[in-house]
Amino acid sequence: MYEAFYNLNTDPFRLTADHRFCFNHPSYIRAKGSVQYALYRAEGFVMITGRPGTGKTTLANDLMASLSPNKYVVGHLGTSQLEGGDLLRMTAYALGLGTHQQQKAHVLMQLMAFLAEKHQAGMQSVLIIDEAQGLAPSALQELRRLSDLQHENHPLLQIVLLGQERLRDSIRAPEMEPIHQRLVAAWHLEALGPEDTMGYVRHRLEQAGWRGDPGFAPGVLPVVYRFSEGIPRRINLICNRLMLYAFLAESHTITAEDAEAVIQELGEAELGPSPAGSEEVSPAPGGKRATPRAAGGSA
């Protein structure tokens, strides 16, 4: 809506995960590196957890875009409210197999033959499961059995689990010890700090073709950080509203007062964080605040 007014190529703050906008902050780099290490090992599970909105789906899309289709067969499950039998069929579907045979044994045989064929062709098969905290215990046990599939002592399927924090508790449960022992790598995606929040906002603006319009006055980014708690999806939410707020006022400068007004609007619409998660955030170490430069400068 405001892209043409500010001469942008696209909306820089969409809530939908888009790997083209991924920001390589330290925690994200470690998370991606953990998966890449596990893929290098070509065995076992890798688990990435994080609060909602910290970038797990963006990471999944980033990984899928980076893996060569000549070397990898990648299946992606974006929903995980599944029991064991359904998970097996959804895995086959995600890897490009038809599941006309509905009996579990037939689906498993078909899947084993497919994975063995890809392995013999020199390809690595990977299953990425997003929102994995919702998997039923029977589904997790089915994943363990899939991870046991081998051809000539080589694992046929590697599994990447992405989920909210309670996924860690599920994997640590005594009955899930066989899966816990198969974890090759794990990482917890952290929210951004004040400096990285500033870098994140600037990165997304520049990816959208921003050249300093609108300008950001001192004090805007501390307000954004206080509202978002450094969670990328919340940063996108408030920054999108800030851009819209300035556009409707035909303004080329976003001020701290604008940011406070937008936060009030979001609160009235019940779109802000819960009161328990919206505590005041202190300035950056040394008393310096992470702010963009004044109007016309850089974010």
The CB-based long-range contact list for 167-174 (8 Å cut-off, 24+ gap) reads 167/47, 167/49, 167/132, 167/133, 168/47, 168/49, 170/133, 170/135, 170/137, 170/140, 171/47, 171/140
DSSP, collapsed to helix, strand or coil, labels residue 54 as coil
Angle between helices 84-94 and 104-120 (to 10 degrees): 40
Topology agreement, domain 26-189 and domain 193-287:
no
Rg (CA), the chain: 22
CATH no., domain 193-287: 1.10.8.60
Q: Specify the pTM.
A: 0.85
Q: Is the distance from CB of 271 to CB of 15 less than 8 angstroms? A: no
The pLDDT tens digits of the residues spanning 65-117 come to: 999 999 999 999 987 678 888 888 889 999 988 766 568 888 888 899 999 99
CA distance 175 to 163: 19
Rounded Cα–Cα distance for residues 126 and 143 (Å): 12
* 127 touches 95 (CB < 8 A): yes
**Residue 294 confidence (pLDDT):** 31
d(CA 217, CA 78): 39
Average pLDDT rounded to a whole number, residues 15-27: 93
Tens of pLDDT, residue by residue over 148-165, are 898 888 899 999 999 999
What is the CATH number that goes with domain 26-189?
3.40.50.300
Segment 162-220, tens digit of pLDDT:
999 999 999 999 999 999 999 999 999 999 999 999 999 999 999 999 999 999 999 99
**Contacts (Cβ under 8 Å, ≥6 apart) of 133:** 80, 163, 164, 165, 166, 167, 170
Q: What is the pLDDT of residue 107?
A: 87
Helix ranges restricted to H, the chain? 26-41, 56-66, 84-94, 104-120, 137-147, 166-172, 177-180, 194-207, 220-228, 232-248, 256-268
Domain locations along the chain: 26-189, 193-287
Averaged pLDDT score across all residues of the chain: 87
Q: Is residue 297's pLDDT more than 50?
A: no
pLDDT at 274: 59
pLDDT value of residue 291: 32
